[in-house]
Amino acid sequence: MAVTNTSTSSAQLRWNDVTDAIKQGKSWLDFFPNTEIVKKTDTEMCLRMGRYEISITILAFGNFNHDGFDDMLVFYDQSVMDGTFHYSGVGVLSRTSPGGALKLIN
């Protein structure tokens, strides 16, 4: 397993750890067990992992990639609480099987 210390802060994680966790099918909570939900509505959720925060807002539902499964168009916003890092964008989350995990698609 590439993630040797699951209590490591997000600032200390190596990109290979993230890539390996995705390949292994780890859930968000497997990889970031200290995650807390700080806001949750019908269309938005904000998660905090130590100093790192990410919010996800659902913009639309539809079968955007024409695979037969409903997808979600989402806006995501990431930042650190006491720094200058800030990143946001739009993505599509999709499933490859009924009840399967949502994955970001290009």
How does pLDDT run across 4-35, given as a tens digit for each residue?
334 444 445 566 777 787 788 777 777 778 88
How far is the C-alpha of 104 from the C-alpha of 90, rounded, in Å? 10
What does the block give as tokens for 59?
């913009």
Q: Is the pTM of this model over 0.75?
A: no
Q: Report whether 2 contacts 17 (CB < 8 A).
A: yes
Q: How far apart are the first and last CA of the chain?
A: 27
Which pLDDT score is estimated for 15? 61
- Chain-centroid distance of CA 40 in Å reads 15
In 3D space, the residue among 3, 9, 39 whose CA is nearest the CA of residue 21 turns out to be 3
